[in-house]
């Protein structure tokens, strides 16, 4: 952005290029910033964890088409989420079209999930799926509208749509919401106390994603624990 240097392919190798350049521009040596390397490391770790902790890991191992399709959709959305956060942090705005893209990908994920349940002779719990949408995006949308954007931002409810679709279960959506709020409190409370700023604006999106990931990977155990079976 500083010297209009046209990035080459070898400037865009995740993690490697940033380290080789020492976090500085090849031409003008201006600092690139940490958002790039952090998002690249996060994406790499998230990809590895997604494979290791995948709820249908056995299916992946047997090259089950349903599980592979779900993993692909899941990873595509993960990448888009990272792009959204970096974009939001840098330019203070949300590329809404990209956000709608995550809705489509998540709907495809849910479609495969439903197809998989039907193919296995199971019953699809439509009420639970609608419940997930009510507890996450609809609830956050209402908070956003009622509070005139002072409790939650406009991007939060939009981000909740793909999360609810990919969880596809009321209880998992509840847990994800709880986990997101807990993570947000633990992280931001000390910051708020130190800064003595009671009107601190907290970027909630990353916590929603982290809460979602924790619950998504724990879903088999959680659902068994509640005694609802596996969707
Ligand atoms: Zn430069």
DSSP letter string, 13-37:
STTHHHHHTTTB-TTT--B--HHHH
State the distance from the centre of ligand 1 to the C-alpha of 17, rounded, in angstroms.
14
Collect the ranges in the chain with pLDDT lower than 70: 197-202, 228-231
State the distance from the centre of ligand 1 to the C-alpha of 29, rounded, in angstroms.
6
**H-run or E-run covering 126:** helix 126-133
Burial of 59 (0-12, 13-18, 19+ CB in 10 A): middle
State the distance from the centre of ligand 1 to the C-alpha of 199, rounded, in angstroms.
37
Distance of CA 17 to the CA centre of its chain: 25
Domain coordinates of the chain in residue numbers?
1-32, 33-226
∠ CA(139), CA(143), CA(146), 5° rounding?
130
State the distance from the centre of ligand 1 to the C-alpha of 93, rounded, in angstroms.
24
Could you tell me which of 183, 157, 151 has the C-alpha nearest to residue 102?
157
Q: Global pTM? A: 0.88
Give the chain's length: 231
Check: CB of residue 161 under 8 Å from CB of residue 137: yes
Res 152: pLDDT: 80
State the distance from the centre of ligand 1 to the C-alpha of 24, rounded, in angstroms.
8
- Which residues are within 5 Å of ligand 1 (an ion), measured at CB? 2-3, 5, 25, 27-28, 30
Res 225: pLDDT: 83
State the distance from the centre of ligand 1 to the C-alpha of 7, rounded, in angstroms.
10
Quote the CA–CA distance of 189 and 218 in Å, as a whole number: 26
State the distance from the centre of ligand 1 to the C-alpha of 41, rounded, in angstroms.
23
Quote the CA–CA distance of 109 and 168 in Å, as a whole number: 10
State the distance from the centre of ligand 1 to the C-alpha of 110, rounded, in angstroms.
43
State the distance from the centre of ligand 1 to the C-alpha of 97, rounded, in angstroms.
29
Tokens of 45: 């770790």
Work out the number of other CB atoms within 10 angstroms of the CB of residue 7.
10
State the distance from the centre of ligand 1 to the C-alpha of 12, rounded, in angstroms.
14
State the distance from the centre of ligand 1 to the C-alpha of 91, rounded, in angstroms.
18
Distance of CA 116 to the CA centre of its chain: 23
Quote the CA–CA distance of 215 and 213 in Å, as a whole number: 6
Work out the number of other CB atoms within 10 angstroms of the CB of residue 8.
9
DSSP 152: S
> Token match 């990209």: residue?
98
Res 197: pLDDT: 62
- pLDDT tens digits for 75-131? 999 999 999 988 887 777 778 999 999 999 999 999 999 999 999 999 999 999 999
């Amino acid at each position: 952005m500083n010297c209009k240097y046209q990035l080459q392919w070898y400037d865009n190798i995740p993690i490697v290029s940033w380290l080789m350049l020492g976090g500085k521009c090849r031409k003008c040596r201006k600092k690139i910033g940490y958002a790039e390397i952090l998002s690249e490391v996060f994406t790499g770790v998230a990809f590895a964890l997604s494979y290791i902790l995948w709820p249908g890991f056995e299916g992946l191992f047997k090259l089950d088409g349903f599980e592979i399709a779900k993993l692909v959709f899941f990873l595509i959305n993960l990448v888009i989420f990272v792009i959204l956060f970096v974009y939001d942090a840098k330019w203070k705005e949300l590329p809404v079209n990209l956000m709608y893209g995550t809705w489509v990908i998540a709907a495809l994920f849910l479609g495969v999930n439903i197809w998989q349940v039907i193919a296995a002779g199971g019953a699809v719990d439509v009420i639970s799926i609608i419940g997930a949408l009510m507890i996450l995006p609809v609830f956050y949308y209402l908070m956003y509208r009622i509070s005139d954007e002072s409790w939650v931002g406009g991007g939060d409810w939009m981000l909740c749509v793909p999360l609810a679709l990919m969880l596809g279960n009321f209880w998992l959506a509840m847990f994800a919401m709880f986990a997101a709020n807990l993570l947000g409190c633990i992280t931001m409370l000390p910051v708020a106390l130190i800064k003595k700023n009671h009107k601190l604006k907290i970027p909630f999106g990353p916590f929603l994603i982290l809460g979602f990931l924790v619950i998504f990977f724990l879903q088999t155990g959680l659902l068994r624990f509640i005694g609802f079976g596996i969707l």
